[in-house]
Amino acid sequence: MTKDVEQPQERFEDMPILDELKNSYLNYAMSVIVARALPDARDGLKPSQRRILVAMNDLNLGPRSSHRKCAKIVGDTSGNYHPHGDQATYGTLVRLGQDWNMRYTLVDPQGNFGSIDADPPAAMRYTEARMAAPAMEMLQDLNYETVDFIPNYDETRMEPVVLPSRFPNLLVNGSTGIAVGMATNIPPHNLKEICDALLLVINDPKCGFKDIMKVLPGPDFPTGGIICGKKGIVDAYTTGRGHLKVRAKTEVETDKRGRQRIVVTEIPYTVVKTSIVSKIAECVHSGTIPEISDVRDESDRHGLRIVVELKKDADPEIVLNKLYRYTSLQTTFAIANIALVNNQPETLNIREMLQCFIDHRRNVIRRRSRFLLRRCRNRAHILEGLILAVTDIDEIIDIIKKSPDAPTAKLNLMNKPLRLAEVATLHKLLPAEFVKAKSQGDHFLTGPQADAILTMQLQRLTGLEIEKLAKEYAGLVEQIEGYEAILSNESVLLDIIREDLHEMKEKHGDRRRTQIAGAVETLDIEDLIADEDVIVTVSHIGYIKRMPTDTYRRQGRGGRGIIGSDTKEGDFIKHLFIASTHDYLLVFTNRGKCYWLRVYDVPAMSRQSKGRSIANLLNLGSQQIASIIAVSSFEDEEGSPERQLVMATQNGVVKKTRLSAYGNPRSNGVIAINLDPNDALIGVAQTTGGNHIILGTRDGMTIRFDEQEVRSMGRASRGVRGINLRGGDTVVGMVIVEEKSALFTVCENGYGKRTGIENYKAQSRGGLGLKNIKTSDRNGKVVALKAVQSEDDLMLITANGMIIRTGLDEIRSIGRNTQGVRLINLKEGDKLVAAEKIAAEDLEDEAEGEGSS
């Protein structure tokens, strides 16, 4: 019968499941934080990266060795140190050799290691690698007991906890990693600047962040680019966290055809190049950036080059702003300087990161010095015995010959009293203290010294070899004194660190790649819109749109015109004016309210389109638009006269208010003027305080008066009487008198006239006025008054949507009380409803545009 095997005793313990889950998760989280995701603050490596370098060091894959298959490196790493999947290990190895990810690569690759286009690397059986020079600096002195070693995963060998790292890897190459509940994202830096910062901290331990930033201005990415502003850098350096706005480096070129193109030569860090090209193409196809005609990638082995071809007359600055907003040519790099300090994750500022490396190097040099001091002392101890023995070599040989075996010979040697012989050569070569000590009294060999004598070769008995022993001993004495000085004198130790840093600068330093420029504001939509003049039209029932000013060609007086808008049945264009796309639109309604709108918010549409309902842009309700004023800003320039808004109502009331009072309207509008129940606002104009005002009525009456007669009032006031109306007449227009201008009057039947302003004598405000035009059956009632120059053009709009553009130089100036001339041939049942001038400077801009085309 087989003997029953004793079963182990099972133990059950009751505990809350929430506590067990919490403790287990915390243990898992700490394991991920310490053993996988976060770098050590001393050497800047994660365990996987460190183990790869150690495995390559075991294979002697230095910068001067031959490349070895990556499969071999990965296999040794996984088998000896890192018991995880080979694909994860290979991915880590590949990244250490990618110069667009690492500022200073630690692996020298051979073969396809991927590309900045996110192309995957070739399989590890095809690629080869060896360590780059900076990696060798990190492994230097590893065998001198400079760092602690722990057993590997199966306890078959030892692996270092951290590398000695003469190379400041964490600071120059940075790190990125996602742990449980935290993530690190440390940017790379320039080695020369980091070395200068380390030297500064060593030389001046009390230096501040401002002092450090003088030698270390900011991160230096391997892909170059431009860091916009220093605030994010200051935040990251002082607190360990910050956000950098990084832009691509671009330049504008002009091709042989005279067309401009934007060339991208450097891109932000961690951005995939192909994603930029595809995103630009997507923006072009979707109409987001219509100014681009073509985009192509011309990158080659000489460098990165993305070419963005622009259409004719496209503004490169506007296109660049759009590219920054809609593509990854501008990105935000979030800095989180989290690293392991004593196996605990900490958020470090730049001073703490520099100090961590200095402290690590101080500890490494101390441990190396102790190791070398111990080795030198042991060797010197052996040499002391050899030197004593060779001075009395005949008796030493006799003792060995007469001894029956090696142990006895060792004991006999140890019992033999020895004294340094009076040899002049030895006394000259050996240190004086040694000669003095060993020349007096008897000295006995120790066990190690006796063993060394027993193993000594006969050739060491020659005179030349004896001198070599003496010289070696003298050299060891000097080394021992040097190591003792390092361990006892802090300044000597710091001198070694300084010397190492200067050597790093000379061997591996290079120029800065990333430019640090001034801060840029957050891109507003205004930065994405070209600053150009456009025509804005608003229809009677509230459809608004904007069009280029060259949409309508200039025609002769009396022409038929072209269709200016595909209006709905019963609708017609009521307002038309010229404004810049960056202007503000103050929209005044017939009920005396003011709304705020940007010109670029007005939809850009073709000449034939009807536009978009203004109800989608402004909350007007049942109100109708009385006037729209375009202004570039609300604040007056220093030294310039204060700008005013003058308003007129159909009942002849006028009011003047400062423009700045309308600079902060609400979404539901603000009160512009208090109106009587039966009154309505018909016009608003901008003045500078010293102008004359002309009011024109439907029945052809006008009055001219100085605006000084209208005092400036508050925004919600009523106003004063401007003209005394008779027989149910109403005011249809208001004009601000300009120097050398003329008053152009338009009647509903297509007739009008131009009369010099000097024909309208100034009167007192509130009078009956003078006759301006005969409102006969031929002319019809007055619909518009405009102050014009002979160089201006005129836009005429009919109720059926017909528009004609004509030059005023074709219309001669005639007297005040006349009927005028035909301006447009109207179709039966159609009438003129509005008129708008195009100023001479706008015509000059158009002429330049036609000439360049």
- Catalytic positions: 126
Phi-psi region of 284 (alpha: psi -120 to 50; beta: other; left: phi over 0): alpha
Which helix (H) or strand (E) segment holds residue 57: the answer is: helix 47-58
Maximal C-alpha separation, the chain: 153
β-partners of residue 665 are: none
CB 162, CB 50: distance < 8 Å: yes
Q: Quick one: how far is CA 286 from the chain centroid? A: 25
* Residue-wise burial string across 48-81, b where 16 or more C-beta atoms lie within 10 A, e elsewhere: bbbbbbbbbbeeebbeeeeebbbbbbbebbbebb
CB 440, CB 390: distance < 8 Å: no
Backbone angles phi, psi at 541, to 5 degrees: -100, 10
**How close are the terminal C-alpha atoms of the chain, in Å?**
109
Q: Residue 739 and residue 704: Cα distance in Å, rounded?
A: 14
Q: Residue 228 and residue 448: Cα distance in Å, rounded?
A: 67
Q: Which has the closest alpha carbon to 568: 799, 296, 819?
A: 799
How big, in percent rounded to 5, are the helix, strand and coil portions of the chain? 35, 25, 40
Which helix (H) or strand (E) segment holds residue 488: the answer is: helix 463-488
Q: Residue 191 and residue 511: Cα distance in Å, rounded?
A: 9
Q: Residue 622 and residue 614: Cα distance in Å, rounded?
A: 12
Coil, strand, or helix at residue 499? helix
Coil, strand, or helix at residue 616? helix
DSSP-assigned letter for residue 36: I
10 Å CB burial of residue 303 (0-12, 13-18, 19+) is exposed
CB 412, CB 418: distance < 8 Å: no
Measured CA angle at 227 (ends 222, 228), to 5 deg: 170
The DSSP secondary structure of 631-691, one letter per residue, reads ES-SSPPTTSPPPEEEEEETTSEEEEEEGGGGSS--TT-EE-----TT--EEEEEEE-SS-
Q: Quick one: how far is CA 716 from the chain centroid? A: 46
Q: How many CB atoms lie within 10 A of CB 97?
A: 24
Coil, strand, or helix at residue 200? helix
Pairing of strands 515-517, 226-228: parallel
CB neighbour list of residue 240: distance below 8 Å, 6 or more residues apart = 335, 336, 337, 338, 347, 348, 349, 352
Q: Residue 390 and residue 396: Cα distance in Å, rounded?
A: 8
Q: Residue 355 and residue 763: Cα distance in Å, rounded?
A: 84
